[in-house]
Chain A
């Protein structure tokens, strides 16, 4: 009985984890290339959620159509923000970019609030559900996970098989090395920031396919925190590390939820968060390079 419940929840965790992973790749990409921590990460996810909501309610389009739209919106926002602020702050102290990305998040939240009010909203995408014995999975959740895996795979191929992707990787590895090869490092910075925000906004669409309710301008906070834990799990600077970190996080979150729920008098949801951050501290203490890195 307990075992069945646990394994059912772990399957849910695996599917959710794939989406979590994809939702952290943008953060890791931006950190890996520019050494900038995007504190406005959750707000970018929120913009993606509203993109899905708007297209669904306004045009009756499935969230799958919102995926490319969110990518374009995110990349455009990223480019504008890079050239208007980040580029000028890269040589300054780290606090400068931290405050800048924080205010980027606030600007996004307040703009969305003006456009859509701060009312908590949601949409209902009625898709079939599958009972697989130990748990019930809806098609929209499966699509979200498959979409996340696809995006991660595309990013992996792009990084490893294309000239443009290799150039970005070379900047992550050594920017002066990239310069002597003739790579336009400044453009790579702009591109990776833009791509990172694009991926994050897109992940917001995929997350609403998982949880289509509770959409509001300030929904991003918990996602920022989770993304930090996931990014550390995956070794911070590696987008694929982040993806697998997300899967691990999804499993730990759902697994610990099930176990905490068995203890009488314990509120499992709050404990899950506590557990996640204890995990973050322990990893930082014993393996600051992430659990996946060999060295």
Chain B
């Protein structure tokens, strides 16, 4: 579904990505682990196109999308749940979700997708007329995931979806992510600091450090390697 080849990017003169290679298979949850500052968020924003790649390639469903602007990638079915949520705080929950259905194809199935989101997160149906900024952290995370689902995606990149949430909510969010794969058939690239929970949900794992991929394998392989766990995951 998604293939990244020797991607390089950064901010100004500071290079952050040093050519990571990575592949996400259709219908999988692929997890990207690594310590703070490893360049995981930058990799996602570069794939989306907000951070401009200086070298390397991004392929989506076989098509070279390296230089496509973000909105055109969303039109192809790629979207993101950003770490900072990037919600429209002064807009209602309903308007936030409606904005998710901005692109033409998503508008046609807006009603169905809205029902899907409300069935996954019933609390959002109750609070649909509240301003998104007035919700709790966990509910805001639900709106962010809901907004991404409204874009009618095939592929979602999720950046630290469990960050700052209570343990019980973290469990729920991970259950939701697995549901999104199994019931909706989405492909997910999951960036997480919570290595344990992430290894439980993922089909395949990449370990990133200082802007490049240091290790990869199935969750069992990663769990089995004390070397990787100690060096990069602090487990």
Residues of A within 8 A of B81 (CB): 180
User: CA of A183 to CA of B75 in the docked complex: distance in angstroms?
Assistant: 10
Query: Quick one: which of A163, A177, A179 contacts B71, CB cutoff 8 A?
Result: A179
Question: Is the beta-carbon distance between B102 and A177 smaller than 8 angstroms?
Answer: no
Which chain B residues numbered 84 to 143 have a C-beta less than 8 Å away from chain A?
A: 84-91, 95, 98-100, 102-103, 106-107
Contacting residues, chain B, for A177 (C-beta < 8 A): 82, 85-88, 99, 147
With known contacts A180-B80, A184-B71, A163–B102 Cβ distance under 8 A? yes
Bound-state CA distance A185–B81 (Å) is 18
- Chain A residues with CB under 8 Å of B87's CB are 173-174, 177
Q: B2 an interface residue at 8 Å Cβ cutoff? A: no
> Which of A166, A176, A181, A185 lies at the interface centre, i.e. has the most chain B CB atoms within 10 A of its CB?
A181
**In the assembled complex, B26 has its CB within 8 A of some CB on chain A:** no
Whether A264 sits at the interface, judged by CB under 8 Å, is: no
Residues of chain B at the chain A interface (Cβ within 8 Å)? 48, 50, 69-71, 74-75, 79-82, 84-91, 95, 98-100, 102-103, 106-107, 147-148, 151
Looking at chain A's contact residues, is the secondary structure mostly helix, strand, loop, or mixed?
Answer: helix
A183 to B148, CA, bound (A): 13
In the docked arrangement, what's the CA distance between A98 and B69, Å?
A: 28
In contact, B48 and A181 (Cβ under 8 angstroms):
no
Q: Is A169 an interface residue (CB 8 A)?
A: yes
Q: Given the complex of chains A and B, what is the CA–CA distance between A211 and B67 in angstroms?
A: 52
Known contacts A163-B102, A166-B98, A184-B69; is-contact A179 B50 (Cβ 8 Å): yes
CA distance A85 to B33 in the complex (A): 42
A182 engages B102 (CB within 8 Å) = yes
Chain B residue at minimal CB-CB distance from A171: B88
Per-residue CB contact flags for chain A residues 83-103 toward chain B (1 = under 8 Å, else 0) read 000000000000000000000
Do the beta carbons of A166 and B82 come within 8 Å of each other? Answer: no
**A181 B69 Cβ-Cβ under 8 A:** no
Interface 1/0 per residue, A142-186 and B, CB below 8 Å = 000000000000000000000100110110011011111111111
> Which residues from B are CB-within-8-Å of A180?
48, 70, 74, 79-82, 86, 147-148, 151
- Is A179 a contact partner of B99 (Cβ separation < 8 A)? no
| Known contacts A173-B89, A174-B86, A180-B86; is-contact A166 B95 (Cβ 8 Å) | yes
